[in-house]
């Protein structure tokens, strides 16, 4: 409904050309209430009597294998020297363990990439999926 203004000038009796928002807001609030009431009814749930079972969580911590390669290409399994021919056999034996151990691979920065790539390929072929690289962070100079 359009109302006139209080000033007695020309155009005071002319209707306003603005949209009255009150009925639109009322409709929106009614729709909101309807949706709030019907939303819980729309969720269909089936009641099932599920059997109960007790189980204890497995607390087996996976072991870690420390594999190191020095600058000359010599290999070490948990600190003990190992021949290159035996490495793949050790990887296969480690892959069969449950849970599978993590392979922590440490290599000297002067180690040839070819040796490192071969060790990683052997570990992957044996079935070891958890391979990590161990490095030491660079020391940052102290602020002055």
Q: Would you write out the chain's pLDDT as a tens digit for each of its 144 residues?
A: 555 556 655 556 677 788 888 999 999 999 999 999 988 877 777 777 777 877 777 667 778 989 999 988 899 999 999 998 999 999 999 999 888 899 999 999 888 989 989 999 999 999 998 898 888 877 766 666
Q: Is-contact 91 123, C-beta < 8 A?
A: yes
Residue 39 three-state SS: helix
What is the domain class of 64-133 according to CATH? alpha beta
pLDDT at residue 140, rounded to an integer? 67
Rg of the chain on CA atoms, in Å: 37
């Amino acid at each position: 409904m359009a109302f006139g203004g209080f000033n007695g000038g020309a155009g005071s009796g002319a209707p306003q050309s603005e949209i009255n928002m009150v009925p639109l807001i009322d409709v929106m609030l009614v729709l909101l209430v309807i949706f709030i009431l019907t939303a819980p009814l729309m969720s269909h749930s089936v009641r099932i009597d599920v059997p109960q079972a007790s189980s204890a969580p497995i607390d087996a911590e996976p072991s870690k294998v420390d594999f190191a390669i020095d600058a000359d290409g010599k290999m070490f399994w948990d600190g003990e020297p190992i021949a290159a021919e035996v490495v793949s056999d050790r990887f296969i034996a480690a892959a069969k363990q449950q849970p599978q151990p993590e392979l922590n691979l440490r290599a000297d920065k002067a180690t040839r990439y070819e040796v490192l790539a071969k060790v990683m390929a052997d570990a992957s072929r044996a079935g070891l999926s958890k391979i990590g690289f161990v490095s030491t962070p660079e020391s940052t100079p102290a602020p002055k």
